[in-house]
Structure 1
């Protein structure tokens, strides 16, 4: 199963498991099972840590890592995506639910489950109605800036657990001020565990595998042990707490985790709670889908496979719906886990179902062993995971490449850090759309001339070209619509006014894919004004669908000039002597 099969049809389009399940064999089962074991080892501490980040009891993280994975295995199309709790969605959950319930209460847990349920239904509806394009409103600079800022806030918010102090806040400013005030109450034993775990986990990411290779382990075995680094940190810190009786010295531990499988129930949501969570649920849905589908597409491309974005909406939606029914909270595809799943050899979504089985067994039999797990260790796990997402260098790259991309990225980071995650993402989206509208209202139009010795036409400002003072050739590099129609009209008329000897204007329409009614009226106005000056308007290289629409409007019947197949044909007809000389490469004066 190294390449994707042809696109499934019928019921298999809705239930992709019916497609890949027909070709499932013993070799694929072995590959999926090995990957599931590795991801399970990685997911147990992560699910506990991310539930902590969301302000929920640790067991909720385990619940969100069981049935959602099974649901995605049935409905999802990615062969390697590992669904479950992730840092950014956990942060968004905490921000949303803390507005309607107090952390640590039963109402808070119910609200988080309701948020997952609402997000899931929204994703399913988006998939059913094929509205995945909504995610395109989140540009890469906005997503990059949001993840960077969220990573910084998440890392800062976990410092209270590493220091062993009480602190809070939803923005970097609030968290920083709270930490500074609480700094004198730092618990040295908690700090020792937190710092040791953080340093160890950072070293595991880059240093453990080479060290194991030097000791003689194979590359595969060394990689397997390295991926279990968080489990090593968990086990070591538990032993330290028990051996040194650190709980009596003020080290906070996870405490009793209920053993058993997730409870199946419908979270009771009042109308007021539903309305309060509506906007956050939509935001979590879109951000979760963007993160998930980006990872899925990247991994699928590496194996020459493909995913179906709208079906991914349904798969991710189903995962969130069952998470809400089983006492969990919103989930999505995680980048780090998915890469591990991919590298470990997962070949089908069944690997996720096997991972769910592993988490279920852990929930049944291993939870008593986690009683003495220091919260500082879970905080260190989160810090190490989210700091890998922080990419401040993206600001420099965006500034170098495009100021229009730099602005929303910077605004997203600044507003997220200063005012919170929801305000940051909304600011980035609004600014991106505003800049897009501003750019489209200023279309790029170039005066073009013929490159000597060729039949090509290029911008007179960039190339040494041949022109005719009686013919003005303009290349319009965008579709024409209401936002840029007036700017196009003004540009053409200004260029015409500067050329007293002009007899012809040719609009080269190579890049025009559509002309709406506002732009059509502008073209008609341009034609009438040129005609009043004795100047003919011509079109060249008009695409078929655009020609069809113009024909239905009767614009072409009243056109004062002609429609040419190519720009070269237009110039041959309007300036034959000059154009033939330019084609032969002979010297010609403009």
Structure 2
């Protein structure tokens, strides 16, 4: 039972899958080395903390989550958020700063775990993709400029306010170390060329090696290009987070924002990968994996992790079959680090910074910006408001602004269900009812055929009434109403009371109403709220044909005979025409 629920992939492990997983693990481990260094630098942490995160997080998340192929660990957005949240409160890179990062990871893990156990996976659906696109693009811009000082070996501060940053930047640029600039250019060009020649090669790692060789060569001629310091132990050790009341209180708001971003990042990546692997993703299990991973990881010096799109994509492209690939990836990283650690002292800081800038450039959501610009003004507004908020205020505030705007637009759409008159269109496949106004269809002079699509609740009643009054005013008063309720998604007692009032007013003026509804639970709810007392149960039909068949024989035959465009197959004029053929 436990295996079937948590580890169904075990039955698929065989010789061929192990071979494929082994190759994917080696490929992923080689990528984790430059990423660990780069992302730790973005977070303001020593490089080894990036490795701790890349070792601990993947194993826990792949065992507890539902995605077999998603690789978790340090990510660009989370690292940038950590720096943004903490650098004003604590000296970057200091012991207290590192303690704050680990404590924030612990708190964020608890928040994620609570959301998972409470079944709040649905929360992720309230944050639109446009919010994440704007947030990630804003983060990418901040990341690129945050590394400019290291790439050029100047003393510019990391950008908290881009306006002030750009004002001060020209004074710093004149002090550029041209040797460091050359190393940065060589590193970026090497990474791009290697990826162009063979996408499966670890282009970041090879580019760092080439940058280190070039830096070593020019430093002999007095280039004075700064390199990394010698790294301590590569294996994470057990330690307790600092849970002092003052520290927890200071960082809790940031932990909440970062926990949310981590969950959204992980679930969106898991869903994106599932499109290639045809695997069913359970959002609450992904929440659980992220929460437990960050909670346990904080006891092993692992900072906040989430799903890595790059490593996850390479894991799939390398042919990984089961979660064993992700587990082996962490184990291989443990084995590789002691071997490669001695050469880290030759890696120039400029190379690391240029790789980070390249990663930041690739985060730009160009495709999403273009798509939303063409297809949705609302989503375009959400994207740009989030992006500008991220750049002008802070990453957390930008995210909150974007989420708030996204929820407001969601509520607005919920409060504005589609109310339209429909009319039939026939083709070789049969008869279908469509929006009469949009398709310029003729309507019956005696029947208003309404369709309501969406929720009928207290917040949408004013909009529904305005739309129905507008439609009646446009087409004129008609004695018969047919209301199609099959597309109503939900309704409350206020909504039913409102419909009752409108129907009773229409019947009091001599009109008649037919109701179309097929769903059993909707019918039960309508009956519970006594909607059918006003309509009459005999006027409730499961389909349009039944309602038309009942109402049309009761129409004024004189009006029907003068009608120049009978639109229903049930119309007397059409029946008469067919009978004479």
Q: What displacement does 1:367 show?
A: 1.7
Secondary structure of the residue aligned to 1:50 is: helix
Q: What displacement does 1:154 show?
A: 0.9
Task: Give the number of aligned pairs.
Answer: 561
* Aligned equivalents of 1:247, 1:36: Cα separation in 2: 40
Q: Which runs of 5+ in 1 are unaligned?
A: 1-8, 210-222
1:31 to 2:20 alignment = yes
Identify if the C-alpha distance between structure 1 residues 248 and 54 changes in structure 2 by more than 3 Å, giving closer, same or farther.
Answer: farther
Task: State whether residues 509 and 543 of structure 1, in contact with CA within 8 Å, keep that contact through their aligned partners in structure 2.
Answer: no
1:505 to 2:481 alignment = yes
* Aligned equivalents of 1:35, 1:317: Cα separation in 2: 26
Identify if the C-alpha distance between structure 1 residues 173 and 357 changes in structure 2 by more than 3 Å, giving closer, same or farther.
Answer: farther
* Aligned equivalents of 2:566, 2:220: Cα separation in 1: 91
Aligned to 2:578: none
Identify if the C-alpha distance between structure 1 residues 456 and 65 changes in structure 2 by more than 3 Å, giving closer, same or farther.
Answer: closer
Secondary structure of the residue aligned to 2:482 is: strand
Q: 1:42 aligns with which of 31, 52, 73?
A: 31
1:575 to 2:564 alignment = no
Aligned to 1:214: none
Q: Which runs of 5+ in 2 are unaligned?
A: 576-581
Q: What displacement does 1:496 show?
A: 4.1
Q: 2:51 aligns with which of 53, 62, 71?
A: 62
Identify if the C-alpha distance between structure 1 residues 174 and 65 changes in structure 2 by more than 3 Å, giving closer, same or farther.
Answer: farther
Task: State whether residues 72 and 349 of structure 1, in contact with CA within 8 Å, keep that contact through their aligned partners in structure 2.
Answer: no
Q: What displacement does 1:466 show?
A: 4.6
1:376 to 2:350 alignment = yes
Aligned to 1:386: 360
Secondary structure of the residue aligned to 2:455 is: coil
Residue by residue, what CA displacement relative to the aligned partner does 1:381-437 show, whole Å, maximum 9, x if unpaired? 111122112123533321221111111011111221222211211111111111222
Aligned to 2:73: 84
Task: State whether residues 21 and 321 of structure 2, in contact with CA within 8 Å, keep that contact through their aligned partners in structure 1.
Answer: yes
Aligned to 1:182: 172
Aligned to 1:299: 273
1:528 to 2:514 alignment = no
Superposed structure 1 runs of 4+ greater than 6 Å apart: 584-588
TM-score normalised by L of structure 1 = 0.89
* Aligned equivalents of 1:127, 1:86: Cα separation in 2: 21
Aligned to 1:145: 134
Aligned to 1:215: none
Identify if the C-alpha distance between structure 1 residues 245 and 291 changes in structure 2 by more than 3 Å, giving closer, same or farther.
Answer: same
* Aligned equivalents of 2:19, 2:321: Cα separation in 1: 10
Task: State whether residues 111 and 269 of structure 1, in contact with CA within 8 Å, keep that contact through their aligned partners in structure 2.
Answer: no
Q: 2:542 aligns with which of 538, 557, 565?
A: 565
Q: 1:440 aligns with which of 394, 414, 423?
A: 414
Secondary structure of the residue aligned to 2:449 is: strand
Task: State whether residues 147 and 389 of structure 1, in contact with CA within 8 Å, keep that contact through their aligned partners in structure 2.
Answer: yes
Aligned to 1:537: 513
TM-score normalised by L of structure 2 = 0.90
Identify if the C-alpha distance between structure 1 residues 496 and 257 changes in structure 2 by more than 3 Å, giving closer, same or farther.
Answer: same
Task: State whether residues 127 and 407 of structure 2, in contact with CA within 8 Å, keep that contact through their aligned partners in structure 1.
Answer: no
* Aligned equivalents of 2:539, 2:566: Cα separation in 1: 20
Q: What displacement does 1:125 show?
A: 2.1
Q: What displacement does 1:11 show?
A: 6.0
Q: What displacement does 1:320 show?
A: 1.5
Residue by residue, what CA displacement relative to the aligned partner does 1:277-321 show, whole Å, maximum 9, x if unpaired? 222222222222222222222323323222322111112222222
* Aligned equivalents of 1:161, 1:500: Cα separation in 2: 72
Identify if the C-alpha distance between structure 1 residues 514 and 380 changes in structure 2 by more than 3 Å, giving closer, same or farther.
Answer: same
Secondary structure of the residue aligned to 2:151 is: helix
